[in-house]
Chains A and B, each alone.
Chain A
C-alpha cells in the first residue's frame, strides 16, 4: 500500500489539464452565448453607459486568456462574482442552497446502493432463474422511467392519498435533521429509482463476467460456500467497476436534481440554476456549473484512490 501516495500524485498530475480545460469551458460559457457578453450581462434594455461600465468591470476589453487568468484568480480566492438580479455574492447563494441538493443526492445514492447492489448480486447469483428475469426486466423498466413522472406518482400516492410525506418544500438539515430527511424522502426516492435500476443491471453483468472466470472454478474446487464466493470474491472483484459506477451515478444524481428540485419546489442549486438561466443571471449559472464540475472532478479523484486501494492491478497500472 506504500504505492498510494504515488497513485494520488499521479492522478492529480493527470487531472491538471482536465481542471484547466473544465474551468476554461465554464469561464467561456459567457462568451459562447451568441452576441456581446456585455450585452448578455447587462440585459436587453441597458444604456450605452451601462454597457461600457460592464465591459470595464468584467474586463471584456482584454484578451480572452488574460480574462480567464483574472477570473481564475478571483475564483481561487472564493469570489464567484455577484448575481445580476439580486447582487448577492454568487458563492453565498450557492452555499446557502447546496445542503438541500446534497441531502437528496446523498440520500438517493445511499438508498440506491443498499437496494441496487444486493439486487444485482442476487440476480447474478441466480442467473437464468425466474428471480433473475424478474429483477432484470424491472430494472430495464426502471432505467427507462423519467424521474419527474415517478416523482409525480410518488406525490400522488404517498403525500396526497396516504399523507405520509409533504408534497413540496424542504427543511435545512442543520435546522431539524429528522424533518429534513422526512421532506427529502420522496424526492430522493424519485431520483434513486433510475440509479437502482442502473446499479442492478451493471452489478449483475459485471458479476456474471466474474463468475465465468477460471478462478471462480478454483474457489468452488476448494470447497468455499456460494455465499463466500459471491459476496467476498465476487463483490471484491467488481469493486472497482462498482466505484466507478457510483461515481458516474453521482453525476447523474446532480443533474437529475435540477428536475426533481423543480417538481418538489426545493430551494437547492438545481432550482437556483434553472431560475438563473431563465432570467439570464449568467454569473450565477457560471458559479453553479463551476461548483458542480469541481465536485465531479473531486469524486472521480476519490474513486481513483479507492480503486487503487481495493485492486492491486489498478495500483500496479498507475
Chain B
C-alpha cells in the first residue's frame, strides 16, 4: 500500500488502482455449513477507466458488485480477502463507516429500474436525501442540485419530474433517475450492475451512451457488469470473464476479442453476432453452470469444455500472461477463435 494513499486515505497516484479487489471470497450460510459463492475474485479498476465484467447468469457478478459496498444480506454472509478502494481496505470497515462511502465515494446502479426506487417518495426527495445524507448543504441547495442532476442525465423538464412518483415514469426514465442518484455526490467509482438489461433495445443504447458520456465528462471510473459482450466491446478498455464464482480471464478488451485464451470466453464470443453486437446475449454454450453444491473439484468449466483432458481435473489457478490472466492449463496449446470484431 502506498504511504500517501494511507495517510490521506483518499488519494491515488497516477497509474495506481482506484479499486483493487484481492482474493475476494464470499460465503453464504447454507443448511449444512458455509457455501462458497465467490472464490478468489481479483480485479482492478484504475481512475477514469471503464472495466467490463461479463459472465452467464448466476456466475457471481452481482455478488462481486454488492460485496464492494457490503450490500450483501446482513445475516448469514461472510467475506474474506481485500477490497482496496483508494488504498483503504473496505472489508473490515463497519456498517456506519460504509455508509459514508456508499453513494458518496462509490455510486451504484442496479439491474431493475422498475423496482429500485421507493414507490411512495417523489423522485426529487429520493435524489436530494442522498445529498443531505452526505454533504453539508441546506435543503434548498440540495433541491437545486437535484434539479441540476436530473437535467444532467438528460431529463427535459427536471422540475416537473422531481415532483413525480416513480410509478409515473418509464423504465428508461427511472434508470436515468438512478444514475442521477448514483452520481449526484460526484463519486470516483460507479458500479453499474447490468444497467440496461431490463430495458428496451433502443432505450438500452440511450442509457449506455449517457453513462459513457457522463463517464468521460466527469472522469469517473466505471465497473460495468453485463451479459452483453457487444456493449463491452464498445465501451470498455479492459474486461474480466467470470464463471461459477471465479474470474477465468482478464485483460485488455481488444486482445481478448482478437484472441481469447479461455475456452469459456471463446464460447461467449462465439455467441456474439458481429453486426448486431448490441442485441447479443450469452447463450450458445451447451450445458449449464454447475450449482454451488455440485462444483467440480477440478476446472469448474471442465464439464462443458470441448477441450477438456483428464489432467483438467485438478484445480486451475489464474496464470499471469503479460497484461492478461487466464485460468486454463491448456491456454498455450489452444488456438481459440476471436470475435473478428476488431
Determine the residue in chain A with the shortest Cβ distance to B181. Answer: A222
Asked if B34 is at the interface (CB within 8 A of a chain A CB), the reply is no
- Complex CA–CA separation, A236 to B126 (angstroms): 13
- Please state if B115 and A215 are interface contacts (CB–CB under 8 Å): yes
Asked if A245 is at the interface (CB within 8 A of a chain B CB), the reply is no
- Please state if B71 and A215 are interface contacts (CB–CB under 8 Å): no
Interface-lining segment among A109-117, A263-271, A282-290, A306-314 = A306-314
Task: Report chain B residues within 8 Å CB of A220.
Answer: 69, 71, 102
- Please state if A223 and B103 are interface contacts (CB–CB under 8 Å): yes
- Please state if A222 and B129 are interface contacts (CB–CB under 8 Å): yes
Describe A's contact surface by its main secondary structure: helix
Q: Which one, A218, A225, A310, contacts B120 given CB within 8 A?
A: A310
Asked if B101 is at the interface (CB within 8 A of a chain A CB), the reply is yes
Known: A223-B134, A224-B129. A237 touches B108 (CB 8 A): no
- Please state if B115 and A225 are interface contacts (CB–CB under 8 Å): no
- Complex CA–CA separation, A311 to B121 (angstroms): 9
Q: Which one, A218, A223, A310, contacts B178 given CB within 8 A?
A: A218
Flag B89-108 by CB within 8 Å of A: 1 or 0 each. 00000011001111110011
Known: A222-B130, A225-B133. A215 touches B99 (CB 8 A): no
From 53 to 108 in chain B, residues with beta carbon under 8 angstroms from any chain A beta carbon are 69, 71, 75, 95-96, 99-104, 107-108
Task: Report chain A residues within 8 Å CB of B210.
Answer: none
Asked if B5 is at the interface (CB within 8 A of a chain A CB), the reply is no
- Please state if A218 and B75 are interface contacts (CB–CB under 8 Å): no
Q: Which one, A214, A222, A223, A316, contacts B167 given CB within 8 A?
A: A316
Task: Report chain B residues within 8 Å CB of A316.
Answer: 167
Flag B197-226 by CB within 8 Å of A: 1 or 0 each. 000000000000000000000000000000
Known: A228-B133, A316-B167. A237 touches B99 (CB 8 A): no
- Complex CA–CA separation, A222 to B167 (angstroms): 20
Asked if B40 is at the interface (CB within 8 A of a chain A CB), the reply is no
- Complex CA–CA separation, A313 to B75 (angstroms): 32
From 209 to 243 in chain A, residues with beta carbon under 8 angstroms from any chain B beta carbon are 213-215, 217-226, 228, 233, 236-237, 239
Asked if B118 is at the interface (CB within 8 A of a chain A CB), the reply is yes
Closest beta carbon of chain A to B301's beta carbon, Å: 30
Asked if B137 is at the interface (CB within 8 A of a chain A CB), the reply is no
Asked if A128 is at the interface (CB within 8 A of a chain B CB), the reply is yes
- Please state if A223 and B112 are interface contacts (CB–CB under 8 Å): no
Q: Please count how many residues in chain A sit with their CB below 8 Å of the partner chain's CB atoms.
A: 24
- Please state if A217 and B129 are interface contacts (CB–CB under 8 Å): no
- Please state if B118 and A233 are interface contacts (CB–CB under 8 Å): yes
Closest beta carbon of chain A to B341's beta carbon, Å: 33
Known: A215-B115, A221-B108, A223-B104. A237 touches B129 (CB 8 A): no
Determine the residue in chain A with the shortest Cβ distance to B131. Answer: A222
Task: Report chain B residues within 8 Å CB of A217.
Answer: 71, 110, 116
- Please state if A236 and B120 are interface contacts (CB–CB under 8 Å): yes
Closest beta carbon of chain A to B88's beta carbon, Å: 16
Task: Report chain B residues within 8 Å CB of A128.
Answer: 75
Determine the residue in chain B with the shortest Cβ distance to A238. Answer: B120
- Complex CA–CA separation, A2 to B44 (angstroms): 52
Closest beta carbon of chain A to B111's beta carbon, Å: 9
Task: Report chain B residues within 8 Å CB of A233.
Answer: 118, 121
Task: Report chain A residues within 8 Å CB of B120.
Answer: 236-237, 239, 310-313
- Please state if A237 and B165 are interface contacts (CB–CB under 8 Å): no
Asked if B298 is at the interface (CB within 8 A of a chain A CB), the reply is no
- Complex CA–CA separation, A213 to B75 (angstroms): 16
Flag B156-195 by CB within 8 Å of A: 1 or 0 each. 0000000001010000000000100110000000000000
- Please state if B119 and A221 are interface contacts (CB–CB under 8 Å): no
User: Which residues of B are interface residues toward A (Cβ below 8 A)?
Assistant: 69, 71, 75, 95-96, 99-104, 107-108, 110, 112, 115-121, 129-130, 133-134, 165, 167, 178, 181-182
Query: Would you list the 3 A-B pairs with minimal beta carbon distance, nearest first?
Result: A223-B103, A223-B102, A222-B103
